[in-house]
Amino acid sequence: MNVGGSEYVSIVSSDGGHQIKERPLLVNPYYSTNISDPDVHHNHNDCPSGQQIPAANKAPGTNGYRLCKTCASM
């Protein structure tokens, strides 16, 4: 279920109750072309460090970089 740009998952528990849990949206991988930024790529729309990359410095793909730790934990 997508509400207001965020993805939500409805979970039905064994007692029939519903829980709504927010889950970050996966996006196409991207990385920063700025040489002073870490050599990582991002794949979640709400990764704080990924959100700080200016549009002019965002490039599509992974460039062979590892996934950022924040995205990996989401």
- pLDDT at residue 46 tops 60: yes
How would residue 74 be classed by pLDDT, with cut points 50, 70 and 90?
confident
Cβ atoms of 13 and 39 closer than 8 Å:
no
Residue spans per domain, the chain? 25-74
Structure tokens at 46: 């709400």
Instruction: Please report, rounded to a whole number, the percentage of residues in the chain having pLDDT higher than 90.
Output: 65
Q: What is the mean pLDDT of residues 32-54?
A: 96
67: nearest Cα among 23, 21, 35, 29: 29
pLDDT, position 8? 44
Lowest mean pLDDT among 1-5, 25-29, 65-69: 1-5
Task: Give the helix, strand, coil percentages of the chain, each rounded to 5.
Answer: 15, 45, 40
Q: What is the DSSP letter of 34?
A: -
More confident residue, 31 or 24: 31
